[in-house]
Amino acid sequence: MEEQTLQIPPTAKTRKIYWPNIIYLVASPLLSITLVPYYLYTQGFDWKVWVFTLVLGCATTVSITGGYHRLFAHRSYSTRTWVKIFYLLFGGASFQGSVLKWATDHRRHHRYVDTDKDPYNINQGFWYAHIGWLIVEDDPQYKDKFAQDLLNDRLIYLQHKYYLWVAFGMGVILPTWIGYGLGSTLGGFAMAAVLRLVVTNHSTFFINSLCHTLGRQPYSDEHSARDSYIMAFFAFGEGYHNFHHQFQSDYRNGIRWFDWDPTKWTVNFLASIGSAYNLKKISQATIIKARIVMEEKQLIQEGIPVEAIHPFKVKVEEAGKKWKMIREDYLAMKAGMKERSKEKLKILRQEMKRSQREFKTAWQLWVAYARHARTLSRV
């Protein structure tokens, strides 16, 4: 990656420096690299403090990824009240701002991605997208203007109103106090408060910077978002960013069962105990259609003639439409099912499964012939 300087966009040059964020962004890593070695040198390794730091870090991270992001910003699923309260408390412990501010900014990022209206526009430079946008005050046209659905939520409003109390109470006082109970006040502060904040904050920041700079674009190249397996690991599944920007309403980011997406697994667990519901998923046919479009673009860019494999693309699209249509008929009939329609529903279910198999077979043929075309082009 080329070395980049921090570029300030024209709209930001007239805005004042926001000193509280500068102080925090400078002080937290400095405290981390001084206090953590001092703690380890003076008190040694204590597994209880390390485990507590890991647990609090996971709670904080999933409250940002599953709460601030997928629940509040994108409404990709719904939850019971206790889950919302958990997200609001432990998300506040991340020092990333209130849900009201965070989610409103993030919606603007998706709506105006890669433009001057994007709050963390990657075209202004890697470091501007990472932290530069945080060191200037809000653009006056967006200052104190929040998404109405978030503003109408009483719990979200209360967290915003008392955000500093929530942040310091959950993010600093709580870990320090529990550290005292575990036998090390310094360990609780240095590890579970300061080090945790630095790691979780920059894991989030790198989604805005690294995942708009490096990685694959298997679903769309109409925006700068990219998939990064490294960031998927550190940010609990958020690294599948190209998928997310293309299908932002999906509660998943890693769509395959083996994709590292602890946030998705958390939501699935909450759903299994009845605490999450209305989970939104983009159909497999729609996802694969996007993959085929990108695959075809890449083949053309590589100079590979696509005429020979074009019929396979058509076959996949037709099979996908058929599967989608039958599935919609099946779900509609199931929703209004009566006793006399059970046999018809059974037949429709079998037809839906058959059309799904046809669709998957067509997709596999497309993949195989695309690979074959690439192999021939290299001979």
Q: For residue 222, what pLDDT is reported?
A: 93
The CA–CA distances, whole Å, from 92 to 18, 96, 143, 151, 345 equal: 20, 7, 20, 17, 48
CA distance linking residue 136 with residue 21, whole number of Å: 9
Higher pLDDT, 306 or 274: 274
Check pLDDT > 80 for residue 299.
no
Model confidence at 138, pLDDT cuts 50, 70, 90, reads confident
Averaged pLDDT, 186-213: 96
pTM confidence score: 0.83
Residues 6+ apart with CB under 8 A from 337: 345
Residues 6+ apart with CB under 8 A from 271: 77, 277, 279
3-state secondary structure of 284: helix
CA distance linking residue 49 with residue 55, whole number of Å: 10
Amino acid sitting at position 232: A
How many C-beta atoms lie closer than 10 Å to residue 376's C-beta?
11
The CA–CA distances, whole Å, from 55 to 49, 61, 90, 108, 371 equal: 10, 10, 11, 31, 43
224, 211 contact by CB (below 8 A): no
Averaged pLDDT, 21-44: 95
Model confidence at 340, pLDDT cuts 50, 70, 90, reads low
Q: Which two tokens stand for residue 243?
A: 């998928």
Q: For residue 286, what pLDDT is reported?
A: 86
How many C-beta atoms lie closer than 10 Å to residue 232's C-beta?
23
The CA–CA distances, whole Å, from 248 to 69, 71, 75, 79, 222 equal: 10, 11, 10, 18, 14
Q: For residue 337, what pLDDT is reported?
A: 60
Give the DSSP letter string of 300-328.
HHTT---GGGHHHHHHHHHHHHHHHHHHH
Q: For residue 336, what pLDDT is reported?
A: 66
Check pLDDT > 90 for residue 301.
no
Model confidence pLDDT, tens digit, residues 6-15: 444 555 556 7
Q: For residue 3, what pLDDT is reported?
A: 41
Average confidence score pLDDT of the chain:
87
The CA–CA distances, whole Å, from 41 to 45, 183, 249 equal: 9, 16, 47
Model confidence at 335, pLDDT cuts 50, 70, 90, reads low
Q: Which two tokens stand for residue 348?
A: 């429709």
Give 136's strand partners: 17
HSE, CB side, 13 Å, CA atoms: give it for residue 225: 25
Q: Encode 138-177: b = buried (16+ Cβ within 10 Å), e = exposed.
A: ebeeeeeebbeebeebeebbebbeebeebbeebbbebbbe
Averaged pLDDT, 55-67: 97
Check pLDDT > 50 for residue 4.
no
Model confidence pLDDT, tens digit, residues 157-190: 999 999 999 999 999 999 999 999 999 999 999 9
Region of poorest pLDDT, from 116-125, 138-147, 150-159, 276-285: 138-147
Region of poorest pLDDT, from 146-155, 203-212, 256-265, 326-335: 326-335
Q: Which two tokens stand for residue 222?
A: 């109409």
H-assigned helices in the chain: 10-13, 19-43, 47-62, 81-92, 99-111, 126-130, 148-151, 154-161, 163-168, 174-181, 185-187, 196-209, 229-234, 241-246, 262-272, 284-301, 310-335, 342-378
Residues 6+ apart with CB under 8 A from 304: 373, 374, 377
Model confidence pLDDT, tens digit, residues 78-119: 999 999 999 999 999 999 999 999 999 999 999 999 999 999
